[in-house]
Amino acid sequence: MAGLKRKLKFLVTLTMVNLLIFILVFHGGGGQDKGHKKVLVPSTRFWSKLAPSQSYWNRQQQRLDLQHNPILASSNSNNTSHDYVRPVPDWLNDTGLNPDRCQPDYRVTTHVKDYNSLPPRFKDFLLYMRCRSYPLVVDQPDICRNTRRGKPFLLLAVKSLAPHFDRRQAIRQSWGQAGVLANRTVVTVFLLGNTTAVDHHPDLSEMLRYENDHKHDILQWDFRDSFFNLTVKEVLFQDWMTTRCPGAQFIFKGDDDVFVNTLRILKFLKGLSGPRVRDLFVGDVITNAGPNRDKKVKYFIPESLFVGKYPPYAGGGGYLYSGHLAGWLHRVSQHVPLYPIDDVYTGMCLRKLGLGPEKHKGFKTFDIEEKYRRNPCVYKGLMLVHRRTPQEMIQIWAWLNDPNLTCQ
Ligand SMILES: *[C@@H]1O[C@H](CO)[C@@H](O)[C@H](O)[C@H]1NC(C)=O
Ligand SMILES: *[C@@H]1O[C@H](CO)[C@@H](O)[C@H](O)[C@H]1NC(C)=O
Ligand SMILES: *[C@@H]1O[C@H](CO)[C@@H](O)[C@H](O)[C@H]1NC(C)=O
Ligand SMILES: *[C@@H]1O[C@H](CO)[C@@H](O)[C@H](O)[C@H]1NC(C)=O
Ligand SMILES: *[C@@H]1O[C@H](CO)[C@@H](O)[C@H](O)[C@H]1NC(C)=O
């Protein structure tokens, strides 16, 4: 929070300095040409009026921007005569909100134009869009403290679903093995929500408890683990990171159906220096994308929810970033409304920080050509491939660790 405050303070200072220069220039000019030129004072507002967006997410972002705008906030307190500097235009007035943000927000039923005709997943998303905290039911409070050699160098955070026991076990036995790897401390956690009865999932809670009693690497929150709630998982993980693992130098966050060449990643990270260590965010970057308007597609987003382009974002299959940036993402995400697609959301948060993800060709979230898939040497140079079965993960990891493997 302190960092953000500094940033805001800086913004305010910058505005003041600009104003001062403006006044100086005006005065200076007036002094030289006394009597010739008149000082022109704009008689009406010279900035464009903030118009309400028709799209719900955009409107929520406008509201947050306005709420956290330091210039408007300060002009509010000592500016009474200019009634056009209204702190909150009527259309942004949010007073009807239930103070408990995790109660369903039924106002969306009227605030979103076509609410009633939207598919159920959108209704669920919209009703709970303001809720960002769910109980952590399985925690690993000491996982980043109990390492043999101090703070983790690399934290692997794997998005998983309760029934994916075999994927998690394959990851533990291959690319996600915790401990010391290539002389660096690696910690692995699996991020889980609840596979609920609402979605007709069998009750696996006892198996999950057994798994965690033996492996101690599960984080589980009590929310419905659905595709549109992956952003919830992201912000909950950010919260967890800042309290339980703030010292991690780098974080890999990805899916449980990817193969990650952890050795290659460690080598890459060891070679970094300077500001890249601090600001690193690499992955398979998608640029110039926008919301998909095809109703049949998983990524469909209606215009009543969002309009505009997506910022550059790293595909959610897996990306790598610095612990320093993790702290910044956690802070800035409070100023970005939840968006139903988690990797786009992270891109939005990066953009809000004035940053963007960096593309690295070692991240193959759209897989590699068929003919290379069984070539061990190809994997040597890659960081991530999507997607691989548990058996393939173990096979590829064995290839990479075979001392007899010789590649050109
Ligand atoms: C918002 O609207 C309510 C009534 O709908 C009104 O009482 C309140 O003063 C308004 N707040 C602002 C900041 O305009
Ligand atoms: C292992 O890492 C430590 C620092 O974490 C370093 O001091 C040491 O030299 C490294 N050892 C080898 C063999 O690279
Ligand atoms: C999550 O699972 C537990 C145990 O199965 C259940 O008691 C709880 O109601 C579930 N939470 C949700 C949000 O469905
Ligand atoms: C997200 O999780 C909450 C809490 O379990 C649930 O009420 C909501 O319906 C879920 N949203 C989606 C889109 O599944
Ligand atoms: C490596 O090659 C040697 C000689 O061909 C063989 O004895 C050994 O078992 C091989 N090691 C592995 C890990 O395959």
In order, the DSSP letters of 201-255 are: ----HHHHHHHHHHH--EEEEEEE--GGGHHHHHHHHHHHHHHH-TT-SEEEEEE
Backbone φ, ψ for residue 312 (5° rounding)? -55, 135
Site residues for ligand 4, CB cut-off 6 Å: 121, 124-125, 128, 223-224, 226, 228-229, 232
> Dihedral of the CA atoms 193, 318, 243, 348 (nearest 10)?
-90
Measured in Å, residue 224 CA sits from the centre of ligand 1 at: 34
For atom 11 of ligand 1, the residue with the nearest CA is 93
Beta strands in 75-135 (DSSP E): none
Mean pLDDT of all residues in 236-251: 97
Q: Which ligand is nearest to the CA of 226?
A: 4
The amino acid at 362: G
Name the β-bridge partners of 186.
Answer: 154, 179
| Domains of the chain in sequence order | 56-127 (no CATH), 136-400 (3.90.550.50)
pLDDT of residue 150: 82
**120 DSSP 8-state letter:** H
Least confident of 10-19, 127-136, 149-158: 10-19
Measured in Å, residue 97 CA sits from the centre of ligand 1 at: 12
What is the b/e burial string over 255-290, where b = at least 16 CB atoms within 10 angstroms of the residue's CB?
bbbbbbbbbbbbebbeeeeeeeeeebbbbbbbeeee
Mean pLDDT of all residues in 212-236: 98
Name the β-bridge partners of 154.
Answer: 186, 250
Ligand 1 contact, 95 CB (< 6 A): yes
Ligand 1 contact, 66 CB (< 6 A): no
pLDDT of residue 368: 95
Q: Tokens in use for 129? A: 């869009």
Least confident of 18-22, 98-102, 301-305: 18-22
Measured in Å, residue 185 CA sits from the centre of ligand 2 at: 11
Q: Mutation test of ligand 3: which of 103, 161, 194, 198 has the most ligand atoms closer than 8 Å to its C-beta?
A: 194
Tell me if residue 112 falls in helix, strand or coil: coil
Measured in Å, residue 230 CA sits from the centre of ligand 4 at: 10
State which ligand 3 atom lies nearest to the alpha carbon of 203. 5
Measured in Å, residue 193 CA sits from the centre of ligand 4 at: 10
Q: Mutation test of ligand 4: which of 100, 108, 128 has the most ligand atoms closer than 8 Å to its C-beta?
A: 128
pLDDT of residue 67: 83
Measured in Å, residue 183 CA sits from the centre of ligand 2 at: 6
State which ligand 1 atom lies nearest to the alpha carbon of 94. 1
pLDDT band at 30 (very low <50, low <70, confident <90, very high): very low
pLDDT of residue 27: 52
pLDDT of residue 66: 86
Least confident of 2-11, 57-66, 249-258: 2-11
Residue 81 confidence (pLDDT) above 60 = no
Residue 99 confidence (pLDDT) above 70 = yes
pLDDT of residue 92: 75
Q: Which ligand is nearest to the CA of 122?
A: 4
Q: Nearest-CA neighbor of 157 among 319, 270, 280, 312?
A: 319
Residue 34 confidence (pLDDT) above 50 = no
Q: Nearest-CA neighbor of 248 among 199, 196, 302, 320?
A: 320
Q: Which ligand is nearest to the CA of 401?
A: 5
